[in-house]
Structure 1
Amino acid sequence: MRERPAGRSALKRVAEVSDIAGVVAFPSSPDSRWITGRHLGATGGAALGVNLL
C-alpha cells in the first residue's frame, strides 16, 4: 500500500513521523527567522515543478 505513494515522491519513500515533525517545528525555530509569509510544502518532492500557490 505504501509503494504507490512512494513512487510519486522524489525521495522514493513515504514520510515518517519525524519528517513531518521537523517541518512543523521549523517555523517556530530560530533557523526560520528570515522566512516570512511562505507556504512550506511537505511533499517529499512529489510536487517538484508544480506551482502550489
Structure 2
Amino acid sequence: LFKYIRNTDSVVDLGCAEGNLMKDILTITSRVVGVDLDRNYLEIAKKDNKISN
C-alpha cells in the first residue's frame, strides 16, 4: 500500500478506528482523512495523531 502513496496524494482511511494506519500514512503525506462510525475511535485518532478536524 505505502509504495503507491506519494507526498502529494490525499488518502481516506475508511474504518480508521484508533488511527494506527493513519500514523504511518502521515509520514508520507499530510493529507489524510479518517472515517469511522464510532465517534470514540475518531476522538482517539484525533488525539493520538494531533489532528484538529
Question: Is the strand fraction higher in 1 or 2?
Answer: 2
Larger relative contact order (Cα-Cα within 8 Å, sequence gap ≥ 6): 1
Report the TM-score when normalising by structure 2.
0.22
